Structure 1
Amino acid sequence: MNTDVRAVAAQALDQIARGGVSLRSAFAQAAPRLADARDRALLSALLHEGARWWLRYDAVLDRLLQKPLRGREPVVHALLVLGLVQLAVLGLPEYAAVAGTVEAARALKRPQLAGLVNAVLRRFLRERAALDAAVGRDRVAHSAHPPWLVQELAADWPDDIDAVLAANNAAAALTLRVNRRRASRADLVERLLAAGHAAAPHAWLADAVVLEESTDVTALPGYAQGHFSVQDGAAQLAPELLDLADGQRVLDACAAPGGKTAHCLEHHALDLLALDRDPERLNQVRDNLARLGLQATLAAGDAAEPQAWWDGRPFDRILLDAPCSATGVIRRQPDIRLHRRGGDIARLAAEQQRLLDALWPLLRPGGRLVYATCSVLRRENQQQIEAFLARTPQAAARAAVPPRFGRAAGAGRQNLPGGDGMDGFFYAIVEKQA
């Protein structure tokens, strides 16, 4: 079993960048190979920053290598990317980063390439200023974002594109959501501080606690007892926008992994149906509710085909957290920039339209539908809702989303990544006229 952390990381990063494996899955598969918790922490850092900066250091390697390795030795190519990340991003001591990466080449059974690895990293250190300047002239390589996404962001947010790109490349704070049925936020903050974690209540989100550094949340005090969940602040806005009250019949139409379902139930006693088309992901909802001491009705099914799961009783509230490009959470899931393609957006927009049109008849007159995405692209957000309102006579964007939820974007509001320290998120409220 290969237990060299950099070698393990190179194999996993190659799966992410070349094989299309999600960062979460690659880490889950690789971490058990490492017995030491410090090695697993380094593996996590290497994979996150390797995925985040792949497009930049992949381009840098083209300037450092006469004959590229990505085609004939892809894992060593990934190892070199990680070597550059250690030096330029993680700031590891130069000797440790270079020596450890060279040793990893041997652990990968590529001893004949160890000298090349050493030479490339040493050359990078010598020529770093010139390489940085050259890469800085290419927005795609400099920002480590794919061309299609840079073009979309420039079209949608011309005055904000540099800020969005920078926010996507900055590590995000860890945000928790207190389960108010089992704990108070003040008590949770006190216990976290006592355990040595820099924690503070969010300035205006009533249930949010912000930790300065990421950590293994399962080891935090109160996790096993269901006192809190992990949820970014931007995702903690749904209960307020739904305008919930005890006894309402509520549909969470794309519920997995269950964060918004749980948050709604933490606030009110609801007749809530948590629906998801993936039975395996629905198990995550079930597990999360069990840990938090909450109950809901769970059903597997396609939200756009209600005849297969709906009992005919209308809902007072519908939350449609629609499948989307996830371009608002790239700072947390940097592999999105490697896996998402520009051609995906039209397909996703069509699916969002399909869901909106299918769910609308299930809402009672006078009821409210909240449309949400973790996207920053207008085709999935502002334009999607404007088109829905235009083709749906009974639909009215009567309730304004509060300004603190982001900037005005048509009938909704858009928070851009990093805004108020939160992820990129879009929300719109649509009410059915009686």
Structure 2
Amino acid sequence: MRNIFLVMRREFLTQARKKSFILITFFAPILIILAGITIAYMLRINENESHIAIVDSTNKFYPEFQSNNKNIYNFYTENELRALKDTLAESKSLDALLYIPNTTDSLFNNLQNQIQLYTNKNLTKNHLNSIEQKINKKIEEKRRHFLGVKQSDIDKINSKITLQITNLKEGKSDNDNFIKEILSLSLMYVNLMFFIIYGTRVMRSIMEEKNNRVVEIIISSVKPFELMMGKILGTTLVALTQFCIWIAMTMMLLVLGKIIFGNHLTLSYKQYDFQNLINQKTQIQISDTINALLGLNYPLIIFIFLFFFFAGYLFYSSFFAAIGSAVDNDTETQQFTPIIVVPLLLGAYGCISIINNPEGPVAFWLSMIPFTSPMAMVTRSFYGIPSWQLILSITIMIGSVFIMVYIASKIYRIGILMFGKKVTFKEIFQWIKQS
């Protein structure tokens, strides 16, 4: 244990003292937020200005098309239709031509497949949907008028029920499914990415020492198993340190948000009145979101996340360490990495099914299989887990970690000193069988 601790301590300090680690730890959340803002901005500026000619033979749809800074509509008569079609392909001033033919049907049924949109470029999906909505809106309005149905009567008929869900087992309201979906998938993907990123880091570290022949000197002082476990645990502590800092930063932001956007939303600082900076609807949405976040069972979520992150990382990093010891270069790793990546992806995409039914058979079995439970249990932690399933999953995961570490150590013990030969699956199985 002393040698494992020394190797772990060296691995942790080597990585934690790097400037890259400090920068990523404290600036990664900011970078993620900026990335989200950038993506939203990119989607917004991707809407190019479009000039569309409209020929409405019915003279009913013109009022629906109002020009704005992105979409400019020009209206023409049916006599100009042929000329517009002939010149549209080479036109520099027009991007599309919308033709609405005449109809004698008071319900506009024959327009279903007769309205044509001619273009000389690809219009955005949002713009196409907007045009369809404008036409559908006008047709619905005309049909209501012809049938003698008032909009006020339709508004009275329409029903928008929102179920008020109360979980009697947990004794609290359960109306925040969207927030749970976002958070559960986010933490699941965090586990997925860190298993791959930090597991690959362990594998590359072992390959580097192996290729430099440094490992031959190291194992003269420590056993191969001690070296492998020290590297795995050291890298695990680096990842856990980052997560603990990020969790603390998140909780601080939530508490600060609760103070600023509380239930009454009347707090002012000096001359800045937050009620005047954003509208009331937005304030209520922010307040509801923060209340929903603060209402989650954080002790259980954090415990499940940290345990399955730690156990799952030990499980998969042992696998990565075994691969790193058995190969000499990155090219040779390609035949082994699918064995790791495929179960991870299966667990990640299986979590989408878990969100749909957190208590279904898919959720249960993905929670019990050690290759997928680190992702599945983190996802289920937001929806409540029966105690016996949680205990069983933890027990299976602990046992699987010991088995995987044992198998990886047998591969590591022999593979770390193998040079200049491409290893096959058959040889690896023989190493495992050896005492």
User: Normalising by structure 1, what TM-score?
Assistant: 0.25
Which has a greater percent of helix? 2
Structure with more relative contact order (C-alpha pairs < 8 Å, separation 6 or more): 2
Give the number of the structure whose alpha-carbon radius of gyration is greater.
2
Structure with greater strand percent: 1
